[in-house]
């Protein structure tokens, strides 16, 4: 990348303060940036690094007094960083073809410009779109459908009949379409396995992190909609629906048949019980445990999760429990003294 | 499947209300069912779907007024659904043989009617039973013993000397027999690795979900007994024992040397500390964190886990904390007023 | 192993009580030990097993009255067990060479005495040290650097440009170098992927448990320092730093850019938010959720985590809430009675 600061500012709808003609060739953190790089200032925690950075320019939300470097002022500097970084690190598309050491069923159909690595398995009747990149160790079952421009990283497993849209990215070790966890109990308390014969459907622009698992539906489909982003080690149970542009952070789990709306955020280690509905744009904060429906737009916390505001209040009051306990004790004593005094007065009066 | 409603009712010990002679050819959810399908009504949440379902019959626990469709009344409609679904989706057994692209040690012994896929590795002296299905990417170490009718899904890893009974099902990415997490500390605070030389033994009819891990014992064995069902992303540490027909839901973890009884339920994200005993038929509710033994048959909740009833009470009282805080403040004021009045009375009397 | 008790005691800086000349040939648990084995007594929970063990000697922290067996008294019997067990179970190093069924890029460089299994993939320009053991199904990307005496268990994935030091052990299914979870939001609320172009660096003597994931840095590096030990199903996010000899127990997660000090302990299911600093030798107890910096040497518990002592107090008071609630009610009644009596007295006086 070789662009002037003016050109980069235009790309991100920002404005330049300082010399807009300097040429930027890279992007790096405040610590790692060298001369020629642009850097970004998004977290006040790192303010002290501004004075020592070797960068040639800084993206920031507003004028900053801690540096004399040329600035791009952008309303959302993190977004500006994302846009410039994509430009900077974009690689030319370069298909590798189909390795002779991949094992591909005769009936599978592979689209144009494929990159299929060695040690890949592709099952019967599977159909794969154009420009799909399949890294080594990926196992794709029978009758799977994969769209265009999909990237499957190493050791991903797609079980039979899974459906992937365009531009889906699955990181290493992701498992799509394992059996849902469904049993009935017999009279002796043993588990009777319920056949899990549904599928998983993953729509366009979904990305799923390493070693996460999405189970196939018992009947029907488990469905992850367009633009949803799922982090590592997340569990999505059978028949779950995850809405568009929803974000699910690492180690969260969603139980069976729950429907998550659009643009929801499930922060790290959140747990959602089964058969619930989480409304659009709701947020479950980290480690929240949700046991009932969450209305659209609300923020819930705790286990069981309650409105975030109530949870904060309750946390503050919990921290005041020792104080409350002491006050209660003091009150008991004060009341006892009062009772004694009244008793004494009465007796005094009676005696007088 | 083509069975009359009468035949299906007999299978599940149910009784028919309505036309018992109609022929059922499939099973589906209230939403997805079409003419010819039977469906099931187990969750009151979905009552409104009864009026619009296209199914030809419904399995239910009792007479329902929301539909005129023929019914199978079964005491446990979910179990009835399980039994009919198994009948409906059962596939004929069809062994695929041994792929020439599998890598199998000369000393390994493979039973009758095997299905061993390409890209499978089987180590020295491993013995595999009859009708075992091994999907692509499965890695089996040396001296492993596998029973009959086992299914190993893609990319499962069985480390050396693991023992699997009959009808075990391991979903993709399951790791059996990784080293337990055992270290002593040296004088400088560094960790000395303790050799993990025990094994994992998994008994008949156990099923384990995608990307779960069961560590080998330090010495002796980690042992999962008959009929236990383990969901995805569960961690079973070294020397743990899990009892018969016990159910462990997703993202739960069990620390070293803990013994879980029979027919226990660990709900999602439960955590059990090490060296504990969880009695038969106990339940740990979702996200419960257990730090001491749990008696047979009891239900515990919270972190640290306490009897569920106490936990409920404490949660209710926690939600009343703001109210309690206000009452405490009002009481303090009331007592102060009383003290003042008494003081005033006394002074008044003294003055008079 | 065939060593006298005296020889073993010398190895662990212990002293013998009883016959020091007996020959020990193995080590096993109290339950499993047979004649000729030494066993160890480290957990008082298992005291009752001392009378029935078949072992020929016991390692213990002090004289124990429950047995007449010869003892090795060692200040830290668990450490003594570790040292003797390593001696006992050490296997001679035996390189297996390079399997012709491994897929290795021409430009990759492999050190001396390799063991590279079938179904392994090694990418372009990757450099591997001496005596490295790579089990079946391991996928190593391009430009990876691996030190000496490393063990990569089955189905491990090392993404491109990862760096591993000497004596690193990665258990099955570990993923190193998946993309970090980084997005900016566009004006419509959709996620813009931020390129994750940094690396993962893992220093000497690190061990990582099955199916754990360590994400590559957005820029710069995610860094796990010498001697850190990480259990199964742990999530280490982009740009995290984990200090020397730090221990991270199963199912813990560390969010982006957080720096964990040296000899820290994160107990099971701990969660650490992003951009924090956890001081050296700090402990986060099991399921702790950390949302602010933790000072060196401190112990924190709960969600959000607070000093362990405060957390214990608050837990005790929480358990007293029912009692506090009752007392509050009684006080209210007492105060009401007092108010009534005073009112009565006053009225009485006024009337009189």
CA distance to partner chain A, nearest, from residue C350 (Å): 15
Residue B315 lies in a domain: no
- Nearest by CB to residue C219, choosing from A28, A319, A345, is A28
B348, B268: one domain: no
pLDDT of B90 strictly over 90? no
* One domain for residues A52 and A190: no
Other beta carbons within 10 Å of B146: 24
Q: Tell me which of B30, B42, B250 to substitute to probe the interface with A (most A C-beta atoms closer than 10 Å).
A: B250
Copy the structure tokens of residue A307.
Answer: 């409105």
Of A181, A183, A314, the CB nearest to B321: A314
Share of chain B above pLDDT 90, in %: 82
* B161-180: average pLDDT: 98
A80 lies in a domain? Answer: yes
Q: Is A340 within a domain?
A: yes
C119, C101 contact by CB (below 8 A): yes
Dump pLDDT digits (tens) for A326-337: 999 998 898 888
We report the CATH number of the domain holding residue C224 as: 2.160.10.10
Q: Residue A104 falls within a domain, yes or no? A: yes
Whether residue B347 has pLDDT greater than 90: no
pLDDT at A322: 85
The reply to whether C128 falls in a domain is yes
Q: Using the predicted structure, report yes or no on whether residue A277 has a pLDDT greater than 70.
A: yes
A153, A238, A277, A344: the catalytic one is A238
- Per CB-CB distance under 8 Å, the chain C contacts of A34 are none
Domain that holds residue A349: 320-352
Nearest Cα of chain C lies from the Cα of B192 at a distance, in angstroms, of 7
In a domain, C130, yes or no: yes
Q: Which of B61, B89, B117 is the last residue of a domain?
A: B89
Give the number of A-B residue pairs with CB atoms closer than 8 Å: 188
Q: Are residues C280 and C193 in the same domain?
A: yes
> Does residue C17 fall inside a structural domain?
yes
pLDDT digits over A151-201, tens only? 999 999 999 999 999 999 999 999 999 999 999 998 888 999 999 999 999
Do C119 and C201 lie in one domain? The reply is yes
Q: What is the mean pLDDT of residues A235-242?
A: 98
Which run of H or of E encompasses B149?
Answer: none
Verify that C278 and C300 share a domain, yes or no: yes
* pLDDT for B350: 55
Report pLDDT for B212: 98
**Number of domains making up chain C:** 3
Q: Is the Cβ pair A237, B227 closer than 8 Å?
A: no
3-state secondary structure of C308: helix
Work out whether the CA dihedral C308, C309, C311, C316 comes out positive or negative: positive
Q: Which CATH number do you get for residue B33? A: 3.40.1390.10
Which of C149, C268, C305 is the best substitution to test chain B (most B C-beta atoms within 10 A)? C268
Last residue of a domain, one of A89, A116, A134: A89
Chain A residue nearest residue C213, CA to CA = A210
Q: What is the pLDDT of residue B337?
A: 87
d(CA C35, CA C52): 12
**Per-residue pLDDT tens for A149-163?**
999 999 999 999 999
Mean pLDDT of B213-233: 97
Q: Is B85–A253 a contact, with Cβ atoms under 8 angstroms apart?
A: no
Dihedral sign, Cα of residue B20, residue B25, residue B31, residue B35: negative
Whole-angstrom distance, CA of residue B337 vs CA of residue C129: 82
What does the alpha-carbon distance between residue B312 and residue B303 come to, in Å, rounded to a whole number?
13
Residues of C whose CB is below 8 A from B293: none
Rounded average pLDDT over B48-54: 94
| Nearest-angstrom CA–CA distance, A182 and B78 | 10
Asked if C209 lies within 8 A of B181 by C-beta distance, the reply is yes
Q: Are residues A159 and A65 both part of a single domain?
A: no
pLDDT for the residue B91: 86
Neighbours of chain A (3+ CB pairs under 8 A): B, C
How much is the pLDDT for C1?
Answer: 80
Please tell me which of the candidates C121, C195, C318 has its beta carbon nearest to residue A321: C318
Nearest-CA distance from C32 to chain B in Å? 7
Q: In this predicted model, what pLDDT tens digit does every residue of B259-273 receive, in sequence order?
A: 999 999 999 999 999
Residues β-bridged to residue B15: B73
Nearest to A334 among B83, B335, B345 (CB): B335
**DSSP 8-state symbol, A77:** H
Intervals of chain C under pLDDT 70: 346-352
Q: Which pLDDT belongs to residue A144? A: 98
Residue C98 burial (10 A CB sphere; 0-12, 13-18, 19+): middle
Same domain, C203 and C263: yes
Residues A9 and A116 in one domain: no
**CA nearest A319 in C: which residue?**
C314
Specify the pLDDT at position C348.
63
Chain C residues touching residue B331 (CB < 8 angstroms): 328, 331-332, 335
Nearest CB neighbour to A157, from listed B155, B247, B342:
B155
Grade residue A45 by pLDDT with cuts at 50, 70 and 90. confident
Residues B187, B295, single domain; the answer is yes
Catalytic residue numbers of C, as ranges: 238
Active site members of B: 238
Chosen for mutation from B94, B172, B246, B347 (greatest number of chain A CBs closer than 10 Å) is: B172
Query: Half-sphere exposure of A130 toward its Cβ, with a 13 Å CA cutoff?
Result: 2
Residues of A in contact with C152 (CB under 8 A): none
Instruction: Kindly state whether residues C285 and C330 are assigned to the same domain.
Output: no
Same domain, B120 and B85: no
Angle at B332 between CA B331 and CA B337, to 5 degrees: 95
Contact assignment for A253 to B233 by CB distance below 8 Å: yes
pLDDT of residue C350: 56
CA distance linking residue B241 with residue C157, whole number of Å: 30
pLDDT at A305 over 90: yes
The model's confidence at residue B189, banded by pLDDT at 50, 70 and 90, is confident
Question: Cβ contact (<8 Å) for B318 and A320?
Answer: no
pLDDT category, A350, cuts 50, 70, 90? low
The answer to whether residue B162 scores a pLDDT higher than 60 is yes
Residue partners of A36: CB distance under 8 A and separation at least 6: A23, A24, A25, A26, A56
Q: Considering only CA atoms, which of C146, C205, C148 is closest in space to residue C176?
A: C146
Q: How far is A186 from chain C (nearest CA, A)?
A: 32
Residue C315 counted as domain residue: no
Checking if the pLDDT of B280 tops 90, the result is yes
Based on the fold, state whether residues C232 and C325 are members of the same structural domain. no
């Amino acid at each position: 990348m070789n662009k002037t600061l003016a050109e980069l500012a235009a790309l991100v709808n920002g404005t330049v303060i300082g010399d807009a003609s300097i040429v930027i060739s890279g992007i790096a953190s405040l610590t790692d940036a060298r001369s020629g790089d642009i850097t970004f200032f998004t977290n006040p925690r790192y303010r002290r690094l501004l004075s020592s950075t070797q960068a040639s320019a800084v993206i920031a939300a507003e004028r900053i007094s801690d540096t004399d470097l040329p600035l791009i002022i952008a309303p959302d500097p993190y977004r500006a960083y994302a846009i410039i970084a994509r430009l900077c690190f974009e690689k030319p598309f370069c298909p590798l073809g189909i390795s002779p050491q991949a094992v591909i069923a005769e009936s599978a159909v592979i689209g144009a410009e494929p990159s299929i690595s060695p040690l890949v398995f592709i099952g019967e009747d599977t159909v794969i779109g154009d420009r799909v990149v399949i890294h080594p160790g990926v196992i794709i079952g029978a009758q799977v459908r994969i769209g265009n421009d999909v990237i499957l990283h190493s050791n991903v497993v797609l079980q039979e009949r899974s459906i992937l849209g365009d531009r889906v990215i699955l990181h290493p070790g992701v498992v799509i379409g394992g059996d849902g966890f469904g049993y009935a109990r017999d009279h002796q308390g043993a588990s009777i396995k319920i056949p899990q014969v549904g599928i998983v459907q993953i729509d366009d622009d979904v990305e799923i992190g390493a070693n996460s698992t999405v189970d196939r539906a018992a009947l029907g489909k488990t469905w992850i909609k367009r633009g949803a982003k799922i982090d590592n080690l997340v569990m999505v149970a059978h028949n779950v629906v995850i809405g568009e542009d929803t974000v699910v952070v690492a180690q969260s789990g969603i139980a069976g048949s729950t429907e998550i709306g659009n643009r929801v955020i499930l922060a790290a280690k959140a747990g959602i019980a089964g058969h619930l509905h989480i409304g659009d744009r709701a947020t479950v904060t980290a480690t929240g445990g949700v046991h009932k429906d969450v209305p659209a737009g609300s923020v819930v916390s705790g286990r069981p999760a309650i409105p975030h505001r109530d949870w904060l209040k309750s946390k503050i009051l919990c921290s005041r429990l020792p104080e409350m306990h002491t006050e209660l004790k003091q009150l008991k004593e004060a009341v006892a003294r009062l009772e004694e005094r009244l008793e004494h007065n009465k007796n005094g009066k009676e005696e007088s």
